[in-house]
Amino acid sequence: MPSRLLIIITLAVPTVALGDSPEGLQQGWAREAEQRDSGFAGFSASRGVAFFNARHGGDWRCSSCHTDQPLTSGRHVVTGKVIKPLAPAANPERFTDAGKVEKWFRRNCRDVLSRDCTPEEKGDVLAYLLDLGSGVRQ
């Protein structure tokens, strides 16, 4: 294989994989948040927990399906299907697939908030979820 092509592929691999971790996702959302608001000062788990449990003008909250104890399993509010825990400490697969994360934020934010979530809101929610099971007080 031509060496130039090999170098390009080698450099591309970590870039592609960067978003496929909780930290990678937060870095991406932080960049987007800074572009939207130069005063962005970082994510907040306390904003995240409030956001997660709030009603946002509709019938549902994030916790309606994911529970207010995201270390535990939840249930789909309509179909009753079991939803595995959302917090990475209880379910290490969570937030390791950027495409899946963005798909579910798109769907669920439009259901709960009737709009897309902002990068700051996503980052706050993940900051809250990452704190769960880590011994950090909310």
28-53 burial, b at 16+ Cβ within 10 Å, e below that, comes to bbbebbeeeeeebeebebebbbebbe
Instruction: Tell me the two tokens of residue 15.
Output: 């870039």
Residue with tokens 């669920």: 108
| 79 scored as a contact of other proteins (CB under 8 A) | yes
Give the integer Cα–Cα distance in Å for 17 and 21: 8
111 binds other proteins (CB under 8 A): yes
**According to CB under 8 A, which one of 50, 107, 134, 136 is a site residue for other proteins?**
107
Of 91 and 108, CB closest to other proteins: 108
Stretch that binds other proteins, among 8-16, 46-54, 102-110, 130-138 (CB under 8 A): 102-110
Is 84 a residue that touches other proteins (CB under 8 A)?
Answer: no
Chain positions contacting other proteins, by CB under 8 A: 76, 78-81, 99, 103, 106-108, 110-111
